[in-house]
Structure 1
Amino acid sequence: MSHDKQFTLYSHPTGPNGWKTAFILTELGLSYETIYLDFMTGEHKAPEYTKYNPNGRVPALIDHSNSDFVVWESNAIAIYLVDKYDTDHRVSASSLESRIQQLQWLFFQASGQGPYFGQGVWFRLYHPEKLPSAIERYQKEVVRVLSVLESVLSQQEWLVEGKCTVADLSFITWNNSIATVIMKGYESFDLENDFPAVHAWHKRLLSRDAVIQVLDVQEREAQKHPLLHKLLHGEV
């Protein structure tokens, strides 16, 4: 079967992790087609998709130029893309030591930022009961994660090797949800004042051409789904 684009990306209009992959593909100038799964109808749990990702979550990426090789888990996808296609290290570390540092931040994002921020969203918006203690727990974890980032970014502009890498790019989408969703009602939280280095870093990331391009696509996709668009902008 022939494909017009090199990659097929399975994603969701507002779910954060597929957009992380889109940032990297766009930064590297790689062509891809995105298929947005409808979570409300269970497309992400259907056999047509779980044959690619048995975990039934997004993203999954198919590389048609590499015998339809399939990768799932967003940070595994990030490593695959830069190891195979970023040979001049545009958005990846070059030395062994820096690559390990890059990997450590990807692990931190996947084990720290993603789960805690994700649970923060869940208990703020979706849990059938309002549990203030659970909301507070995950809001405090958000503060802890941001404190770790602040301690490093107050000393340097980027996480690894003095430049933007996939390590930095991996944090964008969840950080976008801090003010609009997760931290609503948490004392007097103010990202710019409380974590100025993180705020400046996030602004640098949002100013990148590839990130602007991808977030414009996300906005257009979200507009097709009024409820998802409200969620994206913290209006629910």
Structure 2
Amino acid sequence: MIDLYYWTTPNGHKITLFLEEAGLPYTLHGVNISKDEQFKPEFLKISPNNKIPAIVDQDPVDGAPLALFESGAILLYLAEKTGQFIPQDLRGRQEALQWLFWQMGGLGPMAGQNHHFNKFAPEKIPYAIKRYVDETARLYGVLDKRLSDRTFVAGEDYSIADMAIYPWIVSHEWQGQDLNDFPHVQRWFQAIKQRPGTVRAYAQAARINPPKP
């Protein structure tokens, strides 16, 4: 059993995508970041950087419950635990890991700053908006080229690299991006959107944080 501490952000969605695809039993614990619940002492014991997501695996291989934070680390742990959604050969594994870390170090931070300056900053700063919209577009271009000759990011099989990247592309309109400009990303995005595991994962999000009418 996995205890998932979660909110409805791109990083949170990564983990529900994996758990739903893998069919792992889990309990979802909402951590409402708009109410600063991520700063509660009991959550900080699991995630000392006060960020979601975090998990506690109640049944790791060495017996004692194991707490993990950082979405990339959680995806890699779950892939290794289950033997799913990560290539087993050396080169395939490295392909998946490179693109997982590409998301962690590039697309996530840049798109996150894009969200902030476009949607949430108390004042509009044209320089900052242009900087992050342009960099997000560059990264979409990198992804589009990558997907031009393969079905998924790491090859022909869906992997943790796709799970890490997809939730950030969901917010493409917030980021000032038109998927018609990136046809290979568009094809990949629609394929993942229609997967039953994706549908179930985003249904969990609606249950935890219902959309405003």
Match of 2:89 in 1: 95
Match of 2:76 in 1: 79
Q: Deviations over 1:121-162 (max 9, x none)?
A: 101111111111111111001101101011111121112131
- Displacement of 1:202 in angstroms is 0.6
**TM norm structure 1:** 0.85
- Displacement of 1:198 in angstroms is 0.5
Match of 2:175 in 1: 182
| 1:48-197 paired onto structure 2 within 5 Å | 48-66=42-60, 67-86=64-83, 89=84, 91-179=85-173, 181-183=174-176, 189-192=177-180, 194-197=181-184
Letter paired with 2:3: T
2: distance between equivalents of 1:74 and 1:202? 20
Matched, 1:211 2:198: yes
Alpha-carbon contact 1:93-1:161 (below 8 Å) kept = no
Alpha-carbon contact 2:30-2:208 (below 8 Å) kept = no
Alpha-carbon contact 1:53-1:72 (below 8 Å) kept = yes
**TM norm structure 2:** 0.94
7, 17, 33: which one aligns with 1:23? 17
Alpha-carbon contact 1:10-1:34 (below 8 Å) kept = yes
* Secondary structure of residue in 2 paired with 1:40: helix
* Secondary structure of residue in 1 paired with 2:154: coil
Alpha-carbon contact 1:18-1:59 (below 8 Å) kept = yes
What is the number of residues matched between the two proteins? 210
- Displacement of 1:219 in angstroms is 2.5
CA RMSD of aligned residues (A): 1.4
Alpha-carbon contact 1:147-1:195 (below 8 Å) kept = yes
- Displacement of 1:16 in angstroms is 1.4
Letter paired with 1:221: I
Q: Deviations over 1:39-72 (max 9, x none)?
A: 2332101211111111000000100012210111
- Displacement of 1:221 in angstroms is 2.9
Q: 1:40 to 1:159 in 2, by over 3 A?
A: closer
2: distance between equivalents of 1:42 and 1:216? 23
* Secondary structure of residue in 2 paired with 1:128: coil
- Displacement of 1:35 in angstroms is 0.8
* Secondary structure of residue in 2 paired with 1:101: helix
* Runs of at least 5 residues in structure 1 that lack an aligned partner in the other structure: 1-5, 184-188, 230-236
* Runs of at least 5 residues in structure 2 that lack an aligned partner in the other structure: none
Letter paired with 1:190: D
